[in-house]
Structure 1
């Protein structure tokens, strides 16, 4: 539960700019596309941290590494909330990226040590319940409170929650001494495994598709669907609440070999995004599609991390670092490419790019058998 709360706070902190993109851009005197790079900068530093955390942490007890990363998250929120200009905002977001990359790189390996093998999918689903909580409440509450009190107040409000989570880590997490120390050599060995490299590319495309859409969802809902702040909050809440369904279903039904499920997230979320291009002007239809998208978004994390735990169980920290690097790189590219398409073409071009990435992911995964570790 302590890990789940940390996930919720990390997700809320990372993607809060999505629900506050327009007022943040106005407050900092930047374009919406430019401000969207506040998401991409955290992704860049998350990539760096995820690849280096095992090496830098060395033989440090993983409990204290997680505690330190949670404290650093609090520092990043203070920097963002108090940012006098765009440059300080980006520094705060870069610090957050270090927390995100470090935590996610270690999270699955820690869960693998806290739960027996048969319960790992359920344990991952419980931890990713924090993602569902953040998806359900962070964006709609953020957009609503941002309208009432200003976007800075939203980031200030997260800081005491991070402090409470840090204390919970201290109390709840057992001692987790480091197990061996190879770091980079483990990562290189994994990349030489064709099945793992293929899965890494497919997961990157799947998340890239998701976050190309999600980062610029507010501009789409404002420009195409034509909703105000109240309706925007309701739609984001519906998307987020659907995440609980995805988390529950993935924890209940994911058992054994997950290869048959690997193409499902990109396939369904890509079809939903294509549907938004068609029915984007009708709020009710958009809401129904976002519910489907939200459920699959949380299930996607459990599906791919379960795949990782089953097919890289001999080097879980290295695999976690590579998976997080791939995901965060996809978030970074999605935010950058989406911002350029939004500023220079249109919001529809952003959604078309998302659909294209999803299609590539489905073509690479196929039936999933090529992504399995040889037995």
Structure 2
């Protein structure tokens, strides 16, 4: 369980609320992040059908993954700082409504440029909601429960990855890709109602300032987290964004079976999240490096062994376990590098992660349009392998992480 990410500071005194309502508030934040993650990666499983609908290439369709990442990277620091004195409950509700609007707009968009407009709204939502919601556990439950609450909130990442792509693909196959976005819009409205009912008012005491973000960049451990996150997320999303074209063109998997393949990958991702979460607390560098090495191995071998169904499934399982550990490893490093600024570390984590998602999808799109999905996999594996060298270099310098227990 990713308890390593739960470094917290003294939170304001909690209002008198029943434990049930407090935990429902935690679950509502988790469902908000789940909705965001699912909406963000939904196009991966629908890439081919959306491209066919608007008569565009896979690379052009990949802009649906590129745009939210760039917007999230910008909006994470800008929105968090600009709204620093506004009640966080109000901001969470606003962002969730924006997400619902984005999904409904995509569902009815008559042209591809309107789909891209909807993805702009998704990007703003990601940057704002994630940066605020990721560090709220200490304000929703008593101190002794913060670790478990944070683990619940972050479980939205693997759950969104597991359910988002395969369920979106399944709905798209049965009822069309527009229906998948419509369903997400309805789910998001349900989350909005739950947030209003169970999340208490969350006025800000010490709003995040830009100086806190720039101060974090002076830490060698923060810079290490940035480099590691950039390389491994670049590798993953550069390849995973185009895994559906790969399975169709190289493995020759039918449209119906692709959902099953992605579901197998997702289940492996859940296992990887909890395995990585428990391991990173004891072996922070080794866990990050091992995850990257597994991604490198899986993506490099896919063009060779992925021509057969068994080889493709086995490597997708390896890939899923590996990537499942990546978000918790990255967030752990950012949180431990700045234990006294949880919201600031969440902002930096969100901005760097999302920017790299968009870069990876963009680079992968260029490669797949000018070469092939197999070349995308090979180049992604090379980028992931570089993470191991960076981890070894950082470990050799023996840069200790701050101990929040010490003054």
- Could you say if the C-alpha distance between residues 115 and 310 of structure 1 is closer, same or farther in structure 2, counting changes exceeding 3 Å? farther
Match of 1:218 among 239, 244, 252: 244
- Could you say if the C-alpha distance between residues 6 and 182 of structure 1 is closer, same or farther in structure 2, counting changes exceeding 3 Å? closer
Is the Cα contact below 8 Å between 1:48 and 1:325 reproduced in 2?
yes
> How many Å separate the matches in 1 of 2:142 and 2:327?
20
- Spell out, residue by residue over 1:287-320, the C-alpha distance to the aligned partner (whole angstroms, 9 max, x if none): 1221222122222212221222222122222221
- Could you say if the C-alpha distance between residues 116 and 295 of structure 1 is closer, same or farther in structure 2, counting changes exceeding 3 Å? farther
Match of 1:142 among 157, 168, 176: 168
Match of 1:173 among 173, 195, 199: 199
How well do the aligned residues superpose, as a CA RMSD in angstroms? 2.1
Query: Shift in Å at residue 360 of structure 1?
Result: 1.9
Matched residue, 1:248: 274
Match of 2:374 among 338, 348, 351: 348
> How many Å separate the matches in 2 of 1:193 and 1:134?
31
Deviates more, 1:210-219 or 1:362-371: 362-371
- Greater Cα radius of gyration, structure 1 or 2: 2
Matched residue, 1:54: 80
For 1:1-375, list aligned pairs within 5 A.
Answer: 1-114=27-140, 122-255=148-281, 258-366=284-392, 369=395, 372-374=400-402
Is the Cα contact below 8 Å between 1:121 and 1:255 reproduced in 2?
no
Unaligned runs of 5+ in 1: none
SS of 2:253 mapped into structure 1: coil
> How many Å separate the matches in 1 of 2:150 and 2:280?
11
Query: Shift in Å at residue 44 of structure 1?
Result: 1.1
Unaligned runs of 5+ in 2: 1-26
Query: Shift in Å at residue 97 of structure 1?
Result: 0.4
Is the Cα contact below 8 Å between 1:121 and 1:251 reproduced in 2?
no
Query: Shift in Å at residue 144 of structure 1?
Result: 2.3
Query: Shift in Å at residue 48 of structure 1?
Result: 1.1
Query: Shift in Å at residue 128 of structure 1?
Result: 2.8
SS of 1:140 mapped into structure 2: helix
SS of 1:348 mapped into structure 2: helix
SS of 2:155 mapped into structure 1: helix
- Spell out, residue by residue over 1:332-351, the C-alpha distance to the aligned partner (whole angstroms, 9 max, x if none): 11111100000011112211
